[in-house]
Structure 1
Amino acid sequence: MVMHQEVVSKLKRSCLSGEINPSLVELKYLKHLDLSLNCFGGIGIPNFIGSFNQLRYLNLSSAGFGGRVPHDLGNLTSLRYLDLNHKMSLTVYVSDDVYCRVFMTDYNLHVTSLHWLSHLSSLQHLDMAGVNLSMATDWLLSINMLPSVVYLRLRDCSLVSIPVSLPHVNFTSLSTLDLSFNMLGPKIPTWLFNVSKMMSLKFSSNYFGDFVPTALGNLCKLQTLELWSNSFTGEINKFKESLMGCIRNSLEELDLGSNELNGHLPDWLGRFLI
């Protein structure tokens, strides 16, 4: 307990707080802005950040921002990296083998719409983990307008549904997708299996219960598949057809833990290449 208090005190002494001076807008050629891991105490993300039209990298993760994410960020048309990760805890290492977890205050960082996101056509990395997206009914349509996005993390964003199909999948560059800790079940969307560059797919704790579509086996580059803590029941053999195909030549990590599967470990698991 004493160590935890000392770590929290040290963090507070080392981080920025207070209002952000709007004179920053004078940095007209700013390309990289990192305000992460600070203590802004729930103030809103300044609208004027949307004025940095040369900005390519913006990291506001775990900075203590709160309220509505300003739509002005949609003006950053040169942006390639956007991290709004609203982490609720940080692991702080005191030494190589001693650490403590510091729980951060939730300032309810949220969005009412993600339409502004569709203007960021050069975006490659998007992390909005912990940001409340429950009011953004347009979230998938907006993200589907991002042809360059490679990394997408919307973990624990209070998402309550996901379309099973899409007329057209535009974000074909996507290789990492993390939608864990939402409420997207019971059906796994079939449009996922048209994203041929997918290497990591994390869908844990989403109340999925239906069979995994057999088209999963066509993801020839998939290395990581996490489906733990869903509502899968019955024989583990139900996954046999879904894990056949070229996925056998690429899959390195498979996590089906904390479901209600039963039966013996099937022989077909041994057919994956080492």
Structure 2
Amino acid sequence: MKQMALGALAGIVSAFFLQFLILPQMDGFTLWAASLLPFILVGFYLYTRPTLSGIGTGFMVFLSLMLMQVDAMNFSAVGYFDLALGLFFGLLGALMGFILFAGVYGSRWLQNRLRSKLRLQVVRTCHESLDGLLGRFESASRDVLFQIAGLTPPGSSASRHLLASALSMQEIGRAVIELRQHLAHVSDAPLSARVLDDVAAVYATPSTQHYRQALNSINAALDSTAHDAPETAHLHLIRLALLDARAVLSADPTHGKSQPRSMTYAA
């Protein structure tokens, strides 16, 4: 990165000498090519040296950008330095951003952010309008899935943990949406409606208390619902998905934490 900046600075200075001191003295294509050749050779030589390739890249890129060989040349030094400073400081800004944020890849902070995005998708399925909700949920959950695949080290335990969480979230999100679609045509199902609030609470603010409350609400709704009722299947799916989602509510196992042993699950 430092080499790229040094090469860019050298390219800007070289292009200035070429454009304002050398090229105005040249007449014809042959002399124009002969005046450019030494600089191009220097740039390619630097680029082919493993320890200097960054300088060579910056040099050639900025030399080409700043010369801007056109039919009607503009020999305004003010305009040249205005463009040069803008490009150079833009490059420095990009390099600083890369230095500051490149370490985010695979970090614990990024993993926590991805978990938060996963939980948010489930919360939205519990409260947002049903119009187009399934499509929005599928799109958002798959987007997070692609982020997990691209922003975590392949094959790592963190990647496997997050991918398993994403698949579990997708399962419970679809089950919640299907339950809500059924409840939209039912006039009286208070316990099933309460399940939605408790499931949303689990994923909005994960805790053992909210987790147990959600399971208790699901069990109460199942006990009060006929076995052949349509919502029974949806409630069972949510319960099974919630049991599979225990790892999502706990800390990442790669950081040495585990699910509390005192947590129990209804049969």
Do Structure 1 and Structure 2 share a fold, with TM-score over 0.5?
no
TM category (shorter chain) comes to under 0.3
TM-score, reference length from structure 2: 0.22
Q: Which one has a larger percent helix, Structure 1 or Structure 2?
A: 2
Larger radius of gyration: 2
Q: Which one has a larger percent strand, Structure 1 or Structure 2?
A: 1
Q: Point out which structure has higher relative CO (alpha carbons under 8 A, 6+ apart).
A: 2
